[in-house]
Amino acid sequence: MILIKLGGSVLKDEGVLKALSRELVQLQAAGISPIIVHGGGPAINEELKFRRIPWEFNQGLRITPKPMMDVIEMVLCGKINRKLVRTLNAAGASAIGISGVDGNLLQCIPADPHLGQVGQIEQVNTQLLHLLLAPRSRHAPLMIPVIAPIGIDSEGNAFNINADWAASKIAQSMGIQQLIYITDQDGILDSEGRTIPQVDDQELHQLIEQQTVHGGMLAKVRTILDALSNQVPEIHIVNAQRPQALKEAIFNQPGPRSFAGTTCQRRDEPKRSPNYDPTQDQRSHHGRGAQPIRNPGFDPLCLGTQERPKGRPTPGIFAAKTAGTALR
């Protein structure tokens, strides 16, 4: 089982989206079960501009008053999600579009009163995802869940959730072996603008301290650190413009670099075995229901360290400091 996060900028390119859809169908035929989480920042901006609704960001998070929340939900759950599902199904998949509201998939609380309807994920209803991913019959194709990052609270209010964080939290709760961010960038860059092929969690912290990563990539790196600290062993960032980038990331073997992008792992994580088969993922949480997130003290606007059980420190959840960074 793998989780793929599609950036909003990727979804604007029809040709790239169709190529990725064909690739996903091929991977599914090879026995790999994908879950997709998508963004939609550029489309949200276009709709807000059309409606003459101003917007602003607070340390990389879109301030979301209730009237704006209605527009964001419409764009993500309607326009973007439907378009992606149609494209996947036209390529031969059996995709089903849902949001975090459906089946209480992404249960949230407000992240900060100053941000309005921006949500912090508290629990993920993994039972719903396992139900969608389960074989229906011998000949029926497996479903591909396509998730719009809208959450819901206990009173039925909708919340805007950063798509990178939604992907990270779902991956943690589902026991995902590989989390892949498909973007319009080649990966994480060093201080000279070169792609870093492999990086561990400690090196990622150094890149943040040295301010080598910034803007949208800074926000993404922080979601990666959170996933690495919560048992997601391997994370990739790849450029959607590169043909077969998804397959290269999934089947990339140890040794000489064989794909363009960045692979992130914990320093103490055992390296992938040369005999690794991504179609035989044994890290299943089948049958488990709503899974609590391991970092309940989430604060999207601060740096910090939170304590895990047994006294093991994990990196806190951070928000990008660069004003104007798109939420997705």
Sequence-ordered strand ranges (E) for 163-268: 178-183, 198-200, 234-239, 262-265
Give pLDDT tens digits for 158-196. Answer: 999 999 999 999 999 999 999 999 998 889 999 888 999
Residue 267, pLDDT score: 85
Q: Are 127 and 151 in contact (CB under 8 A)?
A: no
Output the DSSP codes for 279-301: T------TT--EEEPS-TT--TT
In whole numbers, what is the pLDDT of the chain averaged over residues? 81
Pairing of β 119-125 and β 290-292: antiparallel
Break the chain into its structural domains and give their ranges: 2-270+292-315
Where is pLDDT greater, at 117 or 275? 117
CATH number assigned to the domain with residue range 2-270+292-315, chosen from the 4 options 3.30.499.10, 3.40.1160.10, 3.30.70.1020, 3.40.640.10: 3.40.1160.10
2-35 per-position pLDDT tens digit: 999 998 888 888 999 999 999 999 988 888 889 9
Please determine, for residue 309, whether its predicted confidence score (pLDDT) is greater than 50: no
* E strand map for 207-288: 234-239, 262-265
Q: Assess whether pLDDT exceeds 70 at residue 109.
A: yes
Q: How far apart are CA 47 and CA 51, in angstroms?
A: 6
What's the pLDDT at 117? 93
Q: How far apart are CA 242 and CA 261, in angstroms?
A: 10
Task: State the Cα–Cα distance between residues 322 and 59, nearest whole angstrom.
Answer: 6
pLDDT at position 270 is 63
Query: 114 burial class (0-12, 13-18, 19+ CB within 10 angstroms)?
Result: exposed
Please state, in angstroms and rounded to a whole number, the distance separating the CA atoms of residues 47 and 29: 37
Of all residues in the chain, the percent with pLDDT exceeding 70 is 79
Q: Are strands 198-200 and 61-62 parallel, antiparallel or unpaired?
A: unpaired
CA dist 207 and 214 (Å) reads 9
